[in-house]
Structures are given as C-alpha cells and as structure tokens.
Structure 1
Amino acid sequence: MSSFESSSSSSMNIPPQTKSDYENAEEEKQEALDVDHLEKMGYKQELHRGFSSFMSFAFCFTSTSVVVSIALSFDYTLKTGGSGVAVWSWMIGSLFTILVAYSLAEICSVYPHAGSVYHWSGQLAPADSAPLISYFCGWLSFVGNVTGDASYCSGFVSILNAVIMLHDKPSLSTTDQVLISIIVLFTWSAVNTLRINQQGWINNLSAIFQLSATLIIVIVLFIMTPKHATVHDVFFSTYNGTGLPFVYVCCISILSTLFSLSGYAGSANLAEETKDAGRTAPKEIVLTCICSAIAGFVYLLAVLFTIPNIAQFVKDNEENENENGDTLDDTVATFKLALSYHGTLILTILLLISFYFAGVASITSTTRL
C-alpha cells in the first residue's frame, strides 16, 4: 500500500467533527473568557455557568411577572387614582424604568458577577466610602427581595383563598394562611436546590406559561366582558379612595408600576451563572424591562376595560363580605364581572400558577445577594 493510500485510509477513519463538538468548544472558550474577566477584577469564579441567553430572559421575565405584580397591587391601584391615573402612571413609570434598566445594563456589561448592585456599588464608589455604600446597598437589596418573596407568597395564598371563596365556602383562617405560606416557601426553596441549568428549564416553562396565561386572560376579558368601560373612562376617569389630596395620590400611584417592574434586573444577580454574561445579562435586563412594560400595559388595559365603574366596583366588593369578613380579591372579582363561575375559576387558576412560578424565581434572585 502506498503512503498516499495509507494516509487516505487513516484520515477516513477519523470521525468528522460534529456541530455539537464545535459548539462545546465555543462554550468552553467563552467560559474561559468569562472566568478570565472575573479574575482580572480580583473575583474568583465559584458558581456553575448553566444559564443560556433565553434562560436568562425567562428567569427575568418570570421574576418580574407583571401579571402577578399587578394582581398584588390591584386594590391599591384602583383606590389611589383609579383607572386614568393607573394607565398614565404605568406609561410614565415604564419609560423611566426602561431608562434605569439601560443604565444598569451598562454597568452589568462591565461587572457581570453575582451580587449585582451590592457588588457594583463597591466597585464604583470612592475607595474610602465603598465598604459602607456596598453594605447599605447590599442590605437594602436583600430586604427588598425578601419583601418581594413574602408578597408573592401572600399573594399566592390570597388567590388560593379566592378559589375557595368562589366555591361559596368559608375563607381560610389567618392560621391556615400562614401555614400554607410557610409550606409554599419551603417548596420554592426546594426547587432552588436544583442545579442552575435545571432551574433554567423550569424558568423556560414558567416564562412560556406566563406569556400564554397573560394572552389568554387579555383575550378572554376583551371578548367576554358584557359591558366594557369607555376609552374616556379608562384613560381619564379618576377615583380617590384614600381621603388624601389628589395631587399626592397621583404621585404615590406610580409606586404600583415601579413595584410591578421591580424584578427586571434579576439576570444581573445570576450573571456569574450565565454564559457570555458580559453581553447576555445586560441584554436580558433591557429586553425583560421592555417586554414586561408592554405586557403589563396590555394586561392592565384588559382588566380596566372590564370595570365600567370603578367607584361602584370597589363599593360592591367591599360590601360583599363573607361570614369571616373577607372580600374577594379585586382581580378575581374583575374576572367575575366578565365570566361565569367556570370561566372565572379557570382564569384564577392560571393566575395562581403564575404566582407560584414567580415565587420560585424571586427566591432564586434573593439567594444570589
């Protein structure tokens, strides 16, 4: 056999490089660059990088979960300004939140590591005051995230209570609600013991579910509502159920919007666990903020168009107490205006599942601070 034939034969025995091999090599190369970038900042890579770009977006979108956040603060929204103030507050609040998101994304592109704001403040502040500023930022972020976890848990139990009340059964006692909240928190914590890429797939499912649930709720409410509010009512009518000066009410009403969009920077907390974090995490911060602002605005319009008269709606719901003195959750009561018992129950269950997914993502973000 000639040397040419021998070399040809041996080359034919070498398996061709597959696309997956190439992708794996590229991922390893990118991870090495990410690790090297952290080392240049004096930070050692400790966490597993298992989040892809879509997983990062899914986590952020689930953590923000505007449908859940709007449901949590819907009673506050209706009573602090009513429909018109809520709509304009959402548009103004979303605009400035997106601008803040761009600023945070710029910082995240330079410092893509766990801790986000806590760590960034230490890097950017003057050396003599950096420890103190970082300390306060860290604790404020942590307390804010823990409060968000508690609010999601409380909201989950409130919606579960609404499901029970829809069956014309006595609502849960305070003790039962606390016990259920503790159990739910434990399950969220258990999910967060999974490897980060496994959590990523859960967040992917969650994001798809929440987008689908939002779309279903919006379409159903717009189609099935027997009597819609007018465009003028939604965009310009006001209601002040606080007894405070209206100018002040207009100012505090924007808090509902800011709360609803507060989870958009979640991918920054998981930057150290994200592939190509210097580009992926900042991009998902901005993308999540924009998508959440749009989705939240559409959902908010859907529920507000379902209520022809907010003052009457608030009054009727407050007067319709059960034997325990509890009233139906305002969001569920809105569903009830448009739908029959079964339709209301289905939308409420969709909202309940969304609450659960949002809580899982919120706990994930908190654990990275």
Structure 2
Amino acid sequence: MATHLDDDAKRLAELGYKQELERSWSGFSNFAISFSIISILSGCFTTFGQAWNNGGPIAITWGWPIIAGFILIIGFCMSELVSAYPTAGGIYWWAATMGKPIHGWFTGWLNLIGLIAVTASVDYGCATFLNTLLGMFDKDWGGGLTFTFGLFVVIIVLHALINIYGHHLVAVLQNISVWWHVFGVAAIVLILVFGPDSHQSASFVFTERINNSGFSDGMYWFYVLPLGFLLTQYTITGFDACAHVSEETKDAARTAAQGLWKSIAYSGIGGWILLLAFLFAATDVTEINKELGSASAIFTTALSPGLAKTVIAISVIGQFYCGMSCVTSMSRMTYAFSRDRGIPGAKLWSKVNKNRTPVNAIIMGCTAALVLTLPALYKSPTGTPVAFYAVVSIAVIGLYLAFLIPIYLRLRMGARFRPGPWTLGGKYKVLGWIAVIEIIVISIYFIMPLAPAGVPGNKAWDWTAVNYAPLAVGAVLILVGGWWALSARKWFTGPVRQVDDPGVDLVGSS
C-alpha cells in the first residue's frame, strides 16, 4: 500500500531507509546541535591551557583564526556531502556509498571512537569546571581527581537520561543552548572588558610567546606551537552532528548543509572575540603559569570573586548543554552504523523505542565514554591533565580522519558525484585538497608526546604522562582492520537498504 510522504522521507527512501526517527527538528535546531557541540563556552575554557603552555598568546590570537579558516574549508566540503546524502549515518554512509564497504567500515569506526571521545572530554571538562566553581564557594573545598570523576559520572548519566526520556525536549534545549552561548559569551566579554582594574597590552596579546611545555625553545615553531593549535582544532569539531540528525530535520538537504558550515563560521568569530577578551585580562602571567595555564586563573586574578564565579558558572552551563548535544549526535551515529550491521550486537543498538529514540545506543555510547576517561583518575608528574588532553586528541584524530575519507572519495569521484541542492561547484577540487592536507598534518601532530615525560627513552619518562591517543586510535584501527580482514569483509556490505521501492512502506514502526 502506497504511503504519502513529504520530500524528506522520499529522499530518505531513495537512499534506502524508512523514516524511523521522528522528523520534527527545524533547520535552526539542526544548526543548534553543531553550534552547541562546538561550544566555545566549552572548548575555549577547557583547552585554553593547551594553547597557553604551548605557544602562549600567539598560539591563540593568530592560531585560532588561521586554523578556524582551515576547518571552515573542511566544513564546506562536508556541507556538500550532507546535502547530497542527508542520512543519520553521515560520514560513514558517504564513504561507503562513494567508495567501497571497506571505506565505510573504517570511517564508521573512526567516527564512532571520535564521537565517544568528544562526549567524554566535554563532560569531563564540565566536571572539572564545576569542581572549580564549587571550590570558589568554599575555600576548604577538597575535591580532587576522584571527586571530579564522580561529578563526571553524574553529568554523563544526566545527559543519557535527558536524551532517553526527553526526546522532544532535546531539540528545544538545543535552541536554548544557542542563545545561552550568544548572550553568555557577550556577558563574559563585557565582564572581562569592564571588570579588571587593568588590561594587557596589545603587544602582549598579539606577539607574546610562552613555552611551558618542557620542550626546548629550539622546538618552539615546528613542534611546540602546533601543539597549541589543539585548542582550535578540538573546540571547532563535532559539526558532523548536522548530518547525524538529518533524518530528524525538515528540508535536510538544504538546512543541514547550511547548519554545518554556519555553525563553524559563527563559532570561529565568536571564539576569537572570547579568547581575545581572555588574553587582555590575563595580567597575572606568573599566577596563570602556576595554575598550568588554566583559564579559571585568569578570572580569579583579574576579577572580583563574584564576577569570577559568574564567568565560570556561565561556562559550566554552556558545557552542560554541549555534552547533552554530544550524546545526541553520538547515539544517532551509533544507531545508523548498527542499522547497517557495523557494530557487534547491531540489532540491540539499532532499536528505537515507542518515542523513536535509540535508547540502547545512548546507553552504550555513554558507558564507552566513561571507560575511555578512566585514566583521568591518575595524576601526571607535572600536574598537567595529560590524560584529559589525550582524550581530546583521540576526539580530534578520530573525527578528522573520519572526515578525511569521504572528502578524498568525493575528490576521486569528480564529475560522477551527483550533488544536492547545496554544492561547491568547481571549487570542490581546491577546497577538498586543502582539507585533506590539513587533516593529515594535524593528525600527525596530535599523536605526538604532549610533554617530555611522555617521550620514550626520556629519563623523566612516566606512563601517566604518555599521550595515549595513538595507542587508543591505533588499537581501534588494528582491531577493526584485523576484524575486517578475518571476517567483516565477507558480510559487511555497507548501507543496508530497508526500502527498494521508494513509494512503498516507508515509515518505520516503533
């Protein structure tokens, strides 16, 4: 029996799927989830120390806009792809369709580990700043690593529950999150402009170099400074969420493409303004260095206690919204990859409940994020949160390598590619190659040691200082590569069509 469908469901049927998820998100909500996951109230706060210690102000004032520009190019390439293929599988689906099943297999697993790591890092960062905020209300506060991890567990459980039981609420909260970020950032900038008694000079903000990495100054330009770019590369990521919720978005072929690149552009501009405000307020360099470059040290040294609490509270709430969005994106990708039998126990993870919510995928992803963050319970010899930065590196490497594969495959397809309503036209070639080269370069840097104590053979070498990003990502690649060679290549065929006739039986039952 034929079913009347709107254009979105028809297009989804042409791609081979029934409309199982509820398509109730507006274009603004689609933009909002990526804008919330990028979350300059999260990344600019939690990884500020990475740039401060590895390069100093110039890693931020010059590094941020340059790297953000490269990321926007990556976003343009991905916008063209989501316009052509608006499915929840997103980048893994694009890879499998434009290439072979093996491309979809590796892309899917890289994307999945990246999304799990993003969720873990955002929620752990939120727990860290919440712990700091609580300590500001009580000078005798003794919340250490164990307590921070406990807060992290509470936060990620709350995010799982919101996504499971608040399926209508999530889209509303995404929209609220956008305005929280807009007005929150504006409030923080105004506080940092008018709150301090004095400000740094423009010379400090735009030319000062700092090297607290432990590596020699001779390594500054080619090694230390690029490590500082992790701030930008980590903050502006997770924008593939626009694709993962495209099956829930109206007019997805247009709105998801626009939401993706706009979330990057607006975050790039807003983040730079916010970080400049940080640096102009960073007058007590000695104390900030003692606090390992923590952004909170800027606020506590430059502002009154009340204003410092206000700034950190605004950030904590923004980070909470960000983590909620991360769980949404992660669960949709898990659902879609399982729908195509790419994950063990696929039938379990691809189930949706009566509200069309992939509950099991939410639980599995949040549990994996908890396990990935366990090394954060151990303190590094230097006191720097090396384990946290390693999780951040895993997120960056996993996601951007997953982005690289379909971008390269689109380049290889050339004129055979059938674009959607949003297209780059002939500019896809130069933009695509720029994107590929940038991703390769940053992936190499972010598997490198983040501190001398993490360099094998160094006298100060210590396991707690090791960047375990290459170990985690490498283990995943070896595992899924071996699995592919021994088994998966015989049965994983890429996207599994649910629909052969786009006019029949297109709406999935609960």
Q: Which band: TM-score by shorter chain?
A: 0.7 to 0.9
CA displacement 1:168-225 (0-9 Å, x = unmatched):
1233133322222212111101111146443111111111112111110011101112
How far apart in 1 are the matches of 2:307 and 2:325? Answer: 28
How far apart in 2 are the matches of 1:173 and 1:44? Answer: 48
Structure 1 residue 63: Cα displacement: 1.2
Instruction: Specify the code of the residue in structure 1 equivalent to 2:273.
Output: V
Structure 1 residue 73: Cα displacement: 0.5
The aligned residue for residue 258 of structure 2 is: 283
The aligned residue for residue 387 of structure 2 is: none
Cα RMSD of the aligned pairs, angstroms, is 1.7
The aligned residue for residue 315 of structure 1 is: 289
Instruction: Specify the code of the residue in structure 1 equivalent to 2:181.
Output: Q
The aligned residue for residue 368 of structure 1 is: 332
Structure 1 residue 309: Cα displacement: 5.6
The aligned residue for residue 159 of structure 1 is: 129
Instruction: Specify the code of the residue in structure 2 equivalent to 1:91.
Output: P
Instruction: Specify the code of the residue in structure 1 equivalent to 2:304.
Output: S
Q: Report the more deviating stretch, 333-342 or 293-302.
A: 333-342
SS in 2 for 1:192: helix
What are the equivalent positions in structure 2 for 1:231-242 lying under 5 Å apart?
A: 231-242=202-213
Structure 1 residue 260: Cα displacement: 0.6
How far apart in 2 are the matches of 1:292 and 1:265? Answer: 14
CA displacement 1:232-252 (0-9 Å, x = unmatched):
111111101113310211222
How far apart in 2 are the matches of 1:124 and 1:253? Answer: 35
Alignment of 1:139 with 2:117, yes or no, is no
The aligned residue for residue 261 of structure 1 is: 236
CA displacement 1:43-95 (0-9 Å, x = unmatched):
33221101001111221211110121111101111000000122111011111
Contact 2:288 2:297 in 1 (8 A): no
What are the equivalent positions in structure 2 for 1:99-114 lying under 5 Å apart?
A: 99-114=73-88
Structure 1 residue 263: Cα displacement: 2.2
Instruction: Specify the code of the residue in structure 2 equivalent to 1:360.
Output: M
What are the equivalent positions in structure 2 for 1:1-369 lying under 5 Å apart?
A: 32-125=6-99, 130-166=100-136, 167-194=138-165, 196-244=167-215, 245-247=219-221, 248-308=223-283, 310=285, 312-317=286-291, 330-369=294-333
How far apart in 2 are the matches of 1:134 and 1:198? Answer: 32
Instruction: Specify the code of the residue in structure 1 equivalent to 2:307.
Output: G
The aligned residue for residue 15 of structure 1 is: none
Instruction: Specify the code of the residue in structure 1 equivalent to 2:172.
Output: W
CA displacement 1:86-109 (0-9 Å, x = unmatched):
211101111111111111000100
The aligned residue for residue 497 of structure 2 is: none
Contact 2:50 2:227 in 1 (8 A): no
Contact 2:51 2:231 in 1 (8 A): yes
How far apart in 2 are the matches of 1:246 and 1:331? Answer: 22
Structure 1 residue 38: Cα displacement: 1.8
Instruction: Specify the code of the residue in structure 2 equivalent to 1:140.
Output: L
Contact 2:284 2:301 in 1 (8 A): no
Q: Identity over aligned residues, as a percent?
A: 26
Structure 1 residue 279: Cα displacement: 0.3
CA displacement 1:2-28 (0-9 Å, x = unmatched):
xxxxxxxxxxxxxxxxxxxxxxxxxx9
SS in 1 for 2:88: coil
How far apart in 2 are the matches of 1:85 and 1:176? Answer: 32
Structure 1 residue 114: Cα displacement: 0.2
How far apart in 1 are the matches of 2:279 and 2:15? Answer: 49
How far apart in 2 are the matches of 1:34 and 1:228? Answer: 52
The aligned residue for residue 386 of structure 2 is: none
How far apart in 1 are the matches of 2:231 and 2:289? Answer: 21
TM-score in terms of structure 2 length: 0.62
Q: Which has the higher contact order (CA 8 A, sep 6+)?
A: 1
SS in 2 for 1:193: helix
Instruction: Specify the code of the residue in structure 1 equivalent to 2:101.
Output: P
Contact 1:59 1:266 in 2 (8 A): yes
How far apart in 1 are the matches of 2:140 and 2:36? Answer: 31
* Number of matched pairs: 326
How far apart in 2 are the matches of 1:345 and 1:204? Answer: 25
How far apart in 1 are the matches of 2:56 and 2:198? Answer: 18
Contact 1:229 1:309 in 2 (8 A): no
Aligned pair in 2 of structure 1 residues 195, 341: CA closer, same or farther (>3 Å)? closer
Contact 1:80 1:252 in 2 (8 A): yes
Aligned pair in 2 of structure 1 residues 300, 37: CA closer, same or farther (>3 Å)? same
Contact 1:84 1:236 in 2 (8 A): yes
Instruction: Specify the code of the residue in structure 2 equivalent to 1:170.
Output: W
How far apart in 1 are the matches of 2:111 and 2:12? Answer: 22
How far apart in 2 are the matches of 1:357 and 1:36? Answer: 32
Contact 2:38 2:237 in 1 (8 A): yes
How far apart in 1 are the matches of 2:166 and 2:128? Answer: 30
The aligned residue for residue 321 of structure 1 is: none
How far apart in 2 are the matches of 1:67 and 1:303? Answer: 12
The aligned residue for residue 343 of structure 2 is: none
CA displacement 1:260-310 (0-9 Å, x = unmatched):
100223111100110000001000001111100001000010001111364
